[in-house]
A and B are shown apart, each in its own frame.
Chain A
């Protein structure tokens, strides 16, 4: 199977032509393209939030009780919340926190997770494999959300600590993914050839094995972005993540839930917003997976 992948040169695109081929395959599936568009739009809205939102000053402390709890109207397409703040504005600012959370956590977690997986996989059945993988097993012995909640619980509740808590428990998933790939790749002829000509261990791990894992890692990063966003909003929802008045989607949900069902728009629109970002990253991730996986069959 691996042989075939290499012949097709698609396992990890390195040349311009490979990228073109990859894009062609990706663009054939309308769902993947839809995912990409959603992600681009959300990222653009988040970056340009102060310029595109109708009431940028509603993102932080702002009280206007005269206009509180207004149902959706032309002036406030998604209505206003219990303090009279524009829900649409706060959702777009909320994208910033969600994306920041995903980007930070994945940037912190991916490199060590991948490197540990490479080491454990390459040195399979040696003591270092045992140490790394057994520690990883301990971290995945409770459901991710439970570990994240309990780490957050002992920290001051704020968005930075929520990111740290999620990062602390997320690395083993990358270690496990890369471990399973690396431990089979190290038996491949090209790795053994490199060993015979005396390539260094570092070269073998990072130049021979790692490039062949990149597709799977990239897919996982994209799908995990959705996961981290859900997790972050769950932490804020419980009150262990971002705190009011931060316009975090999870915080908005829990604030709004108290006013259900009469003032439904405070809750329903942030919920839809979360679903939209998560859907975007999921579709994008499935599309990226297809680029790499379609040839594997």
Chain B
């Protein structure tokens, strides 16, 4: 019951933050120097065309009025027309978002299943060559930005070794499965189309791995530090002296408290994944919302920019609430604090 009130509170606050974000991004998009309508069209476009667009975007109205119109449209299920695709931005985003979510999901899976084991291993073997190897890897992951990894992967695995596809979500000629969730891997499994699943998976590997490397490095470092800290605690010593097998100690007593910091910074990982997705999707021609966002930005497509930022904020907020709930389930102390309030 407490958890539900907690989630309800968080959702309420998220609504406030997203409203604030919409005012921020809406104002920035219109107050910053430059005429959005002129920028959207070419510099040589005739004045009447610019004026028409200005009228259409309601740029001649005062700013608060423009915002209220925008908000009204949002509640009636429209984010305005995209200047690039000439469709409603919401239609565009619902089409492209699943591809981004699929990419983020796989990057996150890679992050968790790689970072936790190597972090725990490095922590248990602290100050050995294994630990140093993990530390070295972590420095590489932290210092090389995801888009550079993307280019390097493209070069090595795509062109030189040619072992993984580098463009899009499916090979040409492969029929996408009927759209159920929009995530090709899941849809193809539901419909039992295994070869499509394998093809989709092979397309996911390079971009999601390029995205995941930074977070993997970060998480491995955090996990290592908390394993080292917990290993020195009395309860571990007590369990060792009770003669509990090491495997059991690690899996049952060490893992849960050690993973709390790891899970709590997943929120930061998600921020980094969502941000870099904008570049990585463009590099791999991944037809997701982030690539759509970059195209919109380069073409000064105001409605699409605002829409993409808002949806990014929404996904980010939901992800953060989920992460916080998982942390509170892992750590009873946090629940106690909540209850005490």
Contact = CB atoms under 8 A, between A and B. Distances in A.
Contact of A150 (B25, B148, B272): B25
B24 A138 contact: yes
Contacts of B160: 261
A275 B143 contact: yes
A240 B309 contact: no
Contacts of A238: 278-279, 282, 294, 297-298
A234 B278 CA distance: 10
Given A238-B282, A279-B143, A144 B17 contact: no
A267 B148 CA distance: 9
Contact of A142 (B21, B142, B282): B21
Interface string B181-224: 00000000000000000000000000000000000000000000
B33 A155 contact: yes
Interface residues of B, number: 51
Interface string B267-293: 000011011101100110000000001
Interface string A130-170: 00001101110111111101111111100000000000100
A141 B34 contact: no
Contacts of B39: 154
Q: Which of B33, B147, B308, B316 has the most CB of A within 10 A?
A: B147
A234 to B, nearest CB: 6
B151 interface: yes
B274 A146 contact: yes
Contacts, number: 131
Contact of B147 (A154, A237, A260): A237
B116 to A, nearest CB: 22
Contacts of A261: 155, 159-160
Query: Does more than half of chain A's interface fall in helix, strand or loop, or is it mixed?
Result: helix
Interface residues of A, number: 42
Contact of B275 (A137, A145, A156, A226): A145
A149 B25 CA distance: 12
29 contacts: A134-B20, A135-B20, A137-B20, A139-B24, A141-B316, A141-B317, A142-B313, A143-B272, A143-B316, A145-B275, A146-B278, A146-B308, A147-B25, A150-B308, A153-B305, A230-B145, A234-B147, A237-B147, A239-B298, A257-B151, A261-B155, A264-B155, A271-B148, A271-B151, A271-B152, A275-B148, A278-B142, A279-B139, A279-B143
Interface of B: 16-18, 20-21, 24-25, 28-29, 32-34, 36, 39, 139-140, 142-145, 147-148, 151-152, 154-155, 159-160, 271-272, 274-276, 278-279, 282-283, 293-294, 296-298, 300, 302, 305, 308-309, 312-313, 316-317
